Amino acid sequence: MTLRPILIHPDPRLKKACPPVTEITDDLMQAAEDMLETMYDAPGVGLAAPQVGLLARMFVMDCVKDPEAAPRPMVLINPAVTWTSAETNVYEEGCLSIPEQYAEVTRPAEVRVRWTGLDGKEQEEHFTGLWATCAQHEIDHLDGKLFIDYLSPLKRQLITRKMEKLKRDRARG
């Protein structure tokens, strides 16, 4: 397994709608493993393929926050939300592509998601709590949407400027 560099906003690859996965190749399985390792290393609870420059509808997540509990690494290919609750939830979101910036985002509190697993089998699950927020945040990535797109233009611009500066500073070393 290899850690893959995470793209930092703004980056045109983070704004693209990703095409569906048509075949589960060895390369894709390798990418999924690498993404999980990269996510745990960051650390984060979710990571979408475009965040590592792979334009494909796939993301990984593990929202088990209790260090005593067993991890639950999940790989979701071609995920689709099939049901959302009317009830909403406000969560202070962050993103590995927008380091150290957090803001409250309102989303449906619960969702059902259908996806294809690495074994090629279709699965469906009802997510609540952080799992529901994370799944929606990651599916947004596959449509070229970031959590800051839910904020006011002013807040979004402020965060984007900070990220541009961060990238300039990193480029200088």
Residue 122's DSSP bridge partners are: 116
CA distance 139 to 58: 8
Q: Which of 92, 122, 124, 138 is an active site residue?
A: 138
**Residue 120 CB: number of other CB atoms within 10 A?**
9
Euclidean distance between CA atoms 164 and 170, whole angstroms: 10
Least Cβ distance, residue 20 to Zn ion (angstroms): 20
Q: What number of chain residues touch Zn ion (CB under 5 A)?
A: 1
Q: What is the largest distance, in Å, between two alpha-carbon atoms of the chain?
A: 47
| Shortest separation between residue 147's beta carbon and Zn ion, angstroms | 6
CB closer to Zn ion, 112 vs 145: 145
Nearer Cβ to Zn ion (44/77): 44
Interatomic CA distance for residues 130 and 143, integer angstroms:
20
The contacts of residue 163 (CB under 8 Å, 6+ apart) are 8, 9, 10, 98, 101
Q: How far is the CB of 173 from Zn ion (least distance, A)?
A: 25
Position 14 contacts Zn ion (CB under 5 A): no
Give catalytic status of residue 138 as yes or no.
yes
- In angstroms, what is the minimal distance from the CB of 145 to Zn ion? 10
| Residues between 86 and 115 that touch Zn ion (CB under 5 A) | 95
Residue number, 46 or 109, with CB nearest to Zn ion: 46
Residues engaged in binding Zn ion (CB under 5 A)? 95
Catalytic residues: 138
